[in-house]
Amino acid sequence: MHTSATLDDGVEDFEDLERLERIGETRNDLLEHMATGIQALQRAAATLDQLRSNTIHDVEFVNGRDGGDVATFLDDSIRYARAGYAVVHTVIDKEAP
């Protein structure tokens, strides 16, 4: 009987380790996807800056409010995405031994 209890405990420990490993991998995926999204938003903001520059001067984005609104939305999106990334890091770091 004692051997059976030990075996059952080993299976539970193995399942816990598998679960923890899946959590760690999924957390890493989350950080990777968020970082990729932030980089994409930064590239979009840089591209918008090019459109609004004197070199290209896309009047649709230079004149009126639309270009400024898009720039503000991109800046806010980057800021929010960075904040989310920082929160995820805080959660993960809090859990680390």
Question: How much is the pLDDT for 12?
Answer: 81
For residue 54, is it within any domain? yes
For residue 9, is it within any domain? no
For residue 70, is it within any domain? yes
Block mean pLDDT (10 aa), the chain, length 97: 55 87 96 98 98 97 96 98 97 81
Question: How much is the pLDDT for 71?
Answer: 98
Selection from 92, 91, 90, 88 nearest residue 33 by Cα: 88
Residue 60, phi-psi category: left (phi > 0), alpha (psi -120 to 50), beta (remainder): alpha
For residue 12, is it within any domain? no
For residue 3, is it within any domain? no
For residue 85, is it within any domain? yes
SS3 86: helix
The range of the structural domain enclosing residue 57 comes to 29-95
- First CA to last CA distance, the chain: 34
For residue 51, is it within any domain? yes
Question: How much is the pLDDT for 1?
Answer: 45
pTM score, whole prediction: 0.81
Residue 58, phi-psi category: left (phi > 0), alpha (psi -120 to 50), beta (remainder): beta
- How many domains, in total, are found in the chain? 1
List the structure tokens of 63: 């004149």
For residue 16, is it within any domain? no
